[in-house]
A and B are shown apart, each in its own frame.
Chain A
Amino acid sequence: MLPASRYSSQAHRCIRALQTRQTEHAVPQLYTALQRRACSSLSVPRITTHYTIHSRDKDPRWEGIEMERFADEADVVIVGGGPAGLSAAIRLKQLANEHEKELRVCLVEKASQIGAHTLSGACLEPSALNELFPDWKERGAPLNTEVTEDVFSILTEKHRIPVPMLPGLPMQNHGNYIVRLGNFVRWLGEQAEELGVELYPGYAASEVLFHEDGSVKGIATNDVGIAKDGSPKDVFERGMELHAKVTLFGEGCHGHLAKQLYKQFNLRENCEPQTYAIGLKELWMIDEKKWRPGRVEHSVGWPLNRNTYGGSFLYHLNEGEPLVALGFVIGLDYSNPYLSPFREFQRWKHHPFVAPTLEGGNRIAYGARALNEGGFQSIPKLTFPGGLLIGCSPGFMNVPKIKGTHTAMKSGMLAAEAIFPQVVAEELDSETAGLHIPEYAENLKNSWVWKELRAVRNIRPSFHNYFGLYGGMVYTGIFYWILRGKEPWTLKHCGTDADQLKPAKDCTPIDYPKPDGKISFDLLSSVALSGTNHEGDQPAHLTLRDDGVPVARNLGIYDGPEQRFCPAGVYEYVPLETGDGMRLQINAQNCVHCKTCDIKDPSQNINWVVPEGGGGPAYNGM
């Protein structure tokens, strides 16, 4: 924060004004380059202004702006304040206190408060928590609802086929707790702070820093005060650099820094590409007479056809008020570009088995997030010089159980245990400036996480057969329930989710019913309930590598699937002001940080980067 830069930014605004002629000349050149690439005679309106696409080095508006960053050193830096990141931080501090060593652990989180970007069903398996805090009950962990009833159904349009929840089936929830994961994460944050972890919510890690030898040096937080058109505002401030001996990346499913690290260190060369699903969730305050605390309901089938993976959950919480958490998960390997996950969710709520629970109730929250479905086959290389990956970022979700919190926490704890001896060692014994800790991956392979994921590895891929859902259930019944996943083969996934879309002309549009305003709702009123907001005057954080591709390819071939799969209404194709043709409008302020667009864009043109810290949804105990 240097006053000199503020004055010079004022002065440079004047210079910029004088230089406009120069800039105007520069811009048409960009347009023609795009036109050539897009092979279209229509001029492409400029959509993306973010500096990750349009570098600031050559941008005359940034001349003379002070770009140096304040840097600080910690022993360990953790990116992401979710179950994995917080468990790692807590475990590190527990070890430090045990061994009476000083350890500076800094954790950065893009949400304005810990837990505000956390969204999950969720039925928590307390295994990892029991290891982290054996006395969690005394400490007041918000695990208030033990599962009392477990119900599984296959739904048809009007009816329901009950499926017995035999012990040993992955979906069985005996011994688990229904939690509001946001509240649980907030509690973990409080425990971490008590132990001395430095938590910095509201600051997003936007850049990975490297030493000269290529190892990871740490991260830099986001710059603030950039205007929507990419120019610096008066309040522009550079982000801060946090250097560490080792950096843990726990960004959750499809993290944007992890995406860069995969490329940088070639971490995915020996694993399958990750596959995903989108989960949408609502919280409802229902009529007391309908409330059955501890009841867990899952369903598959309607409204999805047998070849689209997905299903629903409905959990009755027991926290003093008649609250239910319900939601819908759809595999992102669906092929029909006309499918709208949000509208499938709204439609499902009208089923005769579900609607009675919700009648007379009030919806109080909404949100969405992508989740991992790749499982065992998609786990990448986990360590690299200077850092490692934890939690849903590499992806340890047990897909048939639809639980990933316990494995994420365990991975964070194992990471902490692996790095602790090296980080407090008097002499750093390392080839690279950033520590490389392959012991973490070794420990993980020897832990229950690995065994658990290996046992269920073939269940999700078994859905890729002619009978779809039913084939998968039969496979699960035989090979998991009876044989416990010991079959010697490992089934493969079908490739990336983005490649699975069929062109629009080969598919039929789906006729969704209109929302009735009592049980089902429209998209925009739902987005309002997520509490999401971003500083309006900043470049859109949904960046396009090529501004011409959306209309040319996504709209032209696939009828613009992003307007349907985004659960927040960020993408809209609107007619051009000139009348002929369409353009893509990105309503970045609506974004709920679910990452689905980055995953499912058939052209892989959308690159989600982190917006100014503090922006995004404001989930309260989701």
Chain B
Amino acid sequence: FQVGLLVSVKRFFLFLFEIRVKPDKSGVVTDGVKHSMNPFCEIAVEEAVKLKEKKLIKEVVAVSCGPQQAQETIRTALAMGADRGIHVQVAGKDYENLGPLQVSKIMAALAKKEEAQLVILGKQAIDDDCNQTGQMTAALLDWPQGTFASEVSFEGDKLKVVREIDGGLETITINTPAVVTADLRLNTPRYATLPNIMKAKKKKIAIMKPEDLGVDITSRVEVLRVDEPPQREAGVKVETVQDLVGKLKDSGLV
């Protein structure tokens, strides 16, 4: 089954890092903070490479939209086993305003251009937790989608996807070409080992701009303000149940 596959990777702060809001409340401080690939995107890349190793996929192309440093993220994907990369250059203010709608337009354009049969993304990014890009990409392409995938397999020329949903697991069969978004339990991503990083330097990364794909990336959303979550107040200990009820009544909650 010869299929080309696009996998989208996003670069953001390493999780469990202390984030600071910028003094002018326009966003968070990004200078010098350790960045790496979004964990769900790592799982997506791993799945793509696994499918290639099973010879169900012909070629894995890793895509990232962003400034110069996005190339590092693509290199990591290449080191994990992707064949080539595409870096869509978006920098500065445009990058700060780049949201799921714009990225999915770019992905849709690329999927058509590369004649990909499968697009895999992480289910959501850990910076905005939007969980929208995969779904929007599928809608723009008018392709079926298998989101929150915890298992992906081919059945003939259809794709069987086991999805993690609130009630449990849902198994669906969708036609290809399709869009899949990866959830946590899909796989355990492999390490990008040093020999592979070295080999990845020889793999090609094509660079292009959104205009080259005919995509308009103006944002429809404007961020008004970013605030830190309120400091957690100390709790109040009460001695008896009567006290508790009394306090609840006093604060108007009961």
B16 touches A531 (CB 8 A): yes
B32 within 8 A of A: yes
A112 touches B34 (CB 8 A): yes
Smallest Cβ distance from A13 to chain B, in angstroms? 15
On whether A224 and B32 interact (CB within 8 A), knowing A321-B23, A364-B18, A531-B18, the answer reads no
A3–B49 Cα distance when bound, in Å, is 13
B154 within 8 A of A: no
Q: Provide the residues of chain A in CB contact with B31, threshold 8 Å.
A: 620
Instruction: Give the interface size bracket for B toward A.
Output: 20 to 34
Chain B, residue nearest A533 (CB): B16
Across the A-B interface, the 9 shortest Cβ-Cβ residue pairs: A70-B195, A224-B191, A240-B194, A620-B32, A618-B34, A203-B194, A237-B193, A240-B195, A235-B190
B193 touches A531 (CB 8 A): no
A387 within 8 A of B: no
A620 touches B195 (CB 8 A): no
Interface bits A149-189 vs B (CB < 8 Å: 1, else 0): 00000000000000000000000000000000011001000
Q: Provide the residues of chain B in CB contact with A523, threshold 8 Å.
A: none
Q: Provide the residues of chain A in CB contact with B196, threshold 8 Å.
A: 1
Chain B contact residues, majority secondary structure: loop
B193 touches A618 (CB 8 A): no
Smallest Cβ distance from B61 to chain A, in angstroms? 21
B residues with a Cβ closer than 8 A to A are: 14, 16-18, 20, 23, 31-34, 36, 53, 188-191, 193-198
Q: Provide the residues of chain A in CB contact with B194, threshold 8 Å.
A: 108, 200, 203, 221, 239-240
16 examples of A-B residue contacts, CB within 8 angstroms? A72-B195, A112-B36, A183-B32, A203-B194, A224-B193, A225-B191, A237-B190, A237-B191, A239-B193, A240-B193, A364-B20, A531-B14, A531-B17, A531-B34, A618-B34, A621-B32
Q: Provide the residues of chain B in CB contact with A224, threshold 8 Å.
A: 191, 193
A72 touches B190 (CB 8 A): no
A267 within 8 A of B: no
Q: Provide the residues of chain A in CB contact with B20, threshold 8 Å.
A: 364
Chain A contact residues, majority secondary structure: mixed
B33 touches A620 (CB 8 A): yes
A528 within 8 A of B: yes
Count of CB-CB pairs between chains A and B under 8 Å:
58
B18 touches A529 (CB 8 A): yes
Smallest Cβ distance from B24 to chain A, in angstroms? 12
Chain B, residue nearest A242 (CB): B194
Q: Provide the residues of chain A in CB contact with B34, threshold 8 Å.
A: 112-113, 116, 531, 618, 620
Chain A, residue nearest B20 (CB): A364
A70–B36 Cα distance when bound, in Å, is 25
Chain A, residue nearest B191 (CB): A224
Interface bits A580-622 vs B (CB < 8 Å: 1, else 0): 0000000000000000000000000000000000000010110
Smallest Cβ distance from B162 to chain A, in angstroms? 20
Q: Which residues 447-487 in A have Cβ within 8 Å of B in the complex?
A: none
Q: Provide the residues of chain A in CB contact with B189, threshold 8 Å.
A: 235
Q: Provide the residues of chain B in CB contact with A528, threshold 8 Å.
A: 18
Smallest Cβ distance from B199 to chain A, in angstroms? 10
Q: Provide the residues of chain B in CB contact with A364, threshold 8 Å.
A: 18, 20
Among B23, B191, B194, B197, the one with the most A-chain Cβ atoms within 10 Å of its Cβ is B194
A135 within 8 A of B: no
A397–B20 Cα distance when bound, in Å, is 34
Chain A, residue nearest B72 (CB): A113
